[in-house]
Amino acid sequence: MRSIPTRLRAAMLILPVALAISAGCDIAMADFAEKETAEWRKTYELSPGGRVEIGNVNGRIKVATGEGNQVEILALKTARAANVEAAKQTLGRIEIRDSSSSEGVKVDTHFERASSSLFNHSNWQVEYTVRVPASANVKLSTVNGGVEVTGVSGRVIAEATNGGIIARGITGTIEASTTNGGVDVELTKVDQGGAKLECTNGGITLGLPSDSAATLSARVTNGGIDTGGLPIMARGESSRRRLDGDLNGGGPRISMECTNGGIELRKR
pLDDT in tens, 52-79: 999 999 999 999 999 899 999 999 999 9
Task: Give pLDDT tens digits for 152-183.
Answer: 999 999 999 999 999 999 999 999 999 999 99
**Contact present, 56 and 145 (Cβ < 8 Å):** yes
Strands (E), 56-153: 61-65, 70-81, 94-100, 104-111, 122-132, 137-144, 147-150
Antiparallel, parallel or unpaired: β 232-234 and 263-267: unpaired
Residue 14 has pLDDT above 80, yes or no: no
Percent over 70 (pLDDT), the chain = 86
**Beta partners for 94?**
111
At residue 118, the pLDDT reads 47
Task: Give pLDDT tens digits for 174-212.
Answer: 999 999 999 999 999 999 999 999 999 999 999 999 899
**Contact present, 216 and 245 (Cβ < 8 Å):** yes
Residue 12 has pLDDT above 70, yes or no: no
Residue 83 has pLDDT above 60, yes or no: yes
Alpha helix segments (H runs only) across the chain: 6-31, 84-92
At residue 114, the pLDDT reads 65
How many whole angstroms separate alpha carbon 171 and alpha carbon 7? 51
Residue 28 has pLDDT above 60, yes or no: no
Q: What is the DSSP letter of 233?
A: E
At residue 33, the pLDDT reads 87
**Contact present, 106 and 99 (Cβ < 8 Å):** yes
Q: How many CB atoms lie within 10 A of CB 134?
A: 16
At residue 32, the pLDDT reads 81
